[in-house]
Chains A and B, each alone.
Chain A
């Protein structure tokens, strides 16, 4: 597609439930990133996929968080047993290479009640 697409745009879930957030990057972009942006905070790196390499998971805050990228394209971020502190906007970005910069999706606003 023309841009990075994220779904859903908004998600309200009950504490303890699992959620899946989806990111559809720009076709052909080999790099894909997930960031979390809490209210009034900067962007917190979560995970980075580059081609067929093993992902950099160093930013995942706990083992309740996981992500996968199927076929080098669509990525799903899964949060298990959601907690209220997971409430944030989750941003996805993709990139063809460094020179091109990074294109961000509009994010998924997750609210855990």
Chain B
């Protein structure tokens, strides 16, 4: 069955430390891939997206993500986390054949001083 998995429910990092949030998908072909962020009490904001081409994509707020076909992964990274990055992060996939977005269960990021 088609699915998207975020294995980490909750992650805590120190401010200034690097961050990597994992996302794996299971689809017949490479889907469109997205990362969204949801701050407390807010809607979801698009961080970045991957369709094709360069496997390392840059997004807003200093985030980047790398698509690895061999691992069916699309992990989100940031070299140095800021306290304002504390939020919930959702990976999302859309198959080429049908424009319906499926979200992972989310990873809640806590940033400590």
Q: Is B102's CB within 8 Å of the partner chain A?
A: yes
Number of A-B contacts (CB under 8 A): 51
> Do the beta carbons of A106 and B42 come within 8 Å of each other?
yes
How far is B92's CA from A74's CA once the two chains are assembled, in angstroms?
A: 24
Q: Is A43's CB within 8 Å of the partner chain B?
A: yes
How far is B14's CA from A37's CA once the two chains are assembled, in angstroms?
A: 28
> Do the beta carbons of A102 and B46 come within 8 Å of each other?
yes
Q: Is the interface of B mostly helix, strand, loop or mixed?
A: strand
Q: Is the interface of A mostly helix, strand, loop or mixed?
A: strand
Chain B residues closer than 8 Å to A101, beta-carbon distance: 34, 46, 49
> Do the beta carbons of B44 and A91 come within 8 Å of each other?
yes
> Do the beta carbons of B103 and A98 come within 8 Å of each other?
no
Chain A residues closer than 8 Å to B49, beta-carbon distance: 99, 101
Instruction: Given the known inter-chain contacts A42-B106, A43-B90, A99-B51, please indicate yes or no for A104 contacting B45, CB distance below 8 A.
Output: yes
Question: Can you list 26 A-B contacts with CB-CB less than 8 angstroms, sorted by A residue number?
Answer: A4-B43, A33-B101, A35-B103, A41-B105, A42-B104, A42-B106, A43-B44, A43-B90, A43-B103, A45-B100, A45-B101, A45-B102, A45-B103, A56-B100, A91-B43, A93-B101, A95-B99, A97-B99, A98-B51, A98-B99, A101-B34, A102-B34, A103-B46, A104-B43, A104-B44, A106-B42
